Structure 1
């Protein structure tokens, strides 16, 4: 009988299990490191009364986006939104980003300038500065890696770990729309591929498609919190699906949550589109992802 240790398949443990496997042995060695892996941002000591926030996300062509229906300008805007959303979920404000690209030879300079036009628009919208980055060649299409730096007041920073018994679980907007927008785009791409003479039927789905190709991080919610002097007890952004994010809050805060199906924020358009596509709208809301709403207690 073989005593060889069987390799662990990534698929068996998932993204977050993989992160735990790779990082569980790492300790914080510097006094300036307040929070490491395990929240939406790393937290580092800043000037008096403030902490610095750091996060990074990578978008890979063919995995996170399809350029057959994703405009490059929208992709640039989305790539920034995905990152600043992590800072907002810590009740902070983003200030700087760096952008690194892996680019294949199929992209002319004009295409990359279109991508950066979207990044520029997002920098203006979120009031952040592009301060650096890197570029390299890629044999597998386009890869975008963005790092974001931000700040949060020490007495207002919000982690995943602060939820308490009897706290209310609140969502900043509807969920499932982005996933349904993706399903519409994929459906029409399939129709077009089978018959290029047929024009895509996208009329009436603008709301869902925009949530997929150019989501907006919830700066307005954080601004409202500041105006109200409100500090959530815990918070996370909904990037991987509501069910996944509730699990993260539950695990980090060591408490359980009750989520009621009749209270899930599903828009009328999402419900109708889910019915049209033969998909359970609750599955879209719980497991769809890429909503970039804020879930807080």
Structure 2
């Protein structure tokens, strides 16, 4: 297969930036000046600005043996803007910086940026800057996300109150199992290069790993329903770890019900195939990019009819600890192991 390969050195740093941003589009009215000068200029028209940065390192956060560069570009953006959503705000802009070794060609970087631009289109955000530099080996990606919110309407982790309902979006644990599948197939391939991957009928869990989505739709839905969470964050390190963060910052305890944690059917099937407890995947897996938030009990009637959100428990006083009631009705202390890949 004679794929064209253009060496990065043939363009130089500024030539590379110009090449990668040649098709960059502006979608936000708040973008006054985008790529091309020393700095970008944005005007948020009286909104408050949120800023968050995500750093992804090859060999730590992603493996290019099974991660297409286009998917990686998309996921890098999702990882950054998910933090903006986790504060009940709307992402508007990103900057992308990369450190690259000479292992990568211009065509490979085009694939990466095609994924970045696809995410910009899906989430209606503007790429307004970044930087490129050389790396001794591998690939490092840093994405800074900028978001906007009506003044003082951002939600932190510290506002949960006793009696509040604990809510999660979507389903949990599938991304962790997708990673286990990909790692298994990688191991088989390295031992037996001629063996074809066995990933049939596993599109959902693989997709949750390689191409997750940020829950901008939930931020919009909460606004239309006039629901203001009391505490909020995104779920990247597993449900239990994130609950521990909210409980610590809010000085409260919690009770969650195992049978209320949302699972996808395919996730449950794969978990049983790997002989892993699906609940453990949801509590201690990672990379779900769903949202965890608490609301006053008065909001229950607005939430219970949407399939996007599950009420999984309630907030208690700090002295009552952090508990989970199992399907059999037993009560256990909640343990936060977190997402080990990021630790």
TM-score bracket for this pair, using the shorter chain length: 0.7 to 0.9
**Which residue is equivalent to 2:265?**
268
User: Offset at 1:48?
Assistant: 7.8
**Which residue is equivalent to 1:204?**
201
Structure 1 position 185 matched with structure 2 position 182: yes
Task: For 1:92-171, list aligned pairs within 5 A.
Answer: 92-171=89-168
User: Which residue of 70, 75, 78 maps to 1:78?
Assistant: 75
C-alpha distance in 1 between matches for 2:132 and 2:46: 36
- Show CA shifts across 1:168-224 (max 9, x none): 000011110000000001111111111111100011110000000010001111111
Residues 44 and 148 in structure 2, CA contact (< 8 A), matched pair in contact too: no
C-alpha distance in 2 between matches for 1:48 and 1:100: 27
SS in structure 2 of the partner of residue 295 of structure 1: strand
The count of corresponding residues between Structure 1 and Structure 2 is 252
Gap runs ≥5 in structure 2: 1-42, 295-343
Q: Aligned-residue CA RMSD in angstroms? A: 1.2
Q: Give the 4+ runs in structure 1 shifted more than 3 A.
A: 46-49
**Which residue is equivalent to 1:6?**
none
Gap runs ≥5 in structure 1: 1-45
**Which residue is equivalent to 1:258?**
255
Structure 1 position 241 matched with structure 2 position 223: no
User: Offset at 1:117?
Assistant: 0.2
State TM-score, norm by structure 1. 0.83
C-alpha distance in 1 between matches for 2:69 and 2:112: 5
State TM-score, norm by structure 2. 0.72
User: Offset at 1:261?
Assistant: 1.3
**Which residue is equivalent to 1:88?**
85
User: Offset at 1:155?
Assistant: 4.3
Q: 1:108 to 1:163 in 2, by over 3 A?
A: same
Q: 1:48 to 1:68 in 2, by over 3 A?
A: closer
Structure 1 position 62 matched with structure 2 position 82: no
C-alpha distance in 2 between matches for 1:215 and 1:77: 8
C-alpha distance in 2 between matches for 1:173 and 1:257: 20
**Which residue is equivalent to 1:216?**
213
User: Offset at 1:72?
Assistant: 0.3
Residues 48 and 152 in structure 2, CA contact (< 8 A), matched pair in contact too: no
Structure 1 position 194 matched with structure 2 position 186: no
C-alpha distance in 2 between matches for 1:218 and 1:67: 25
Task: For 1:18-37, list aligned pairs within 5 A.
Answer: none
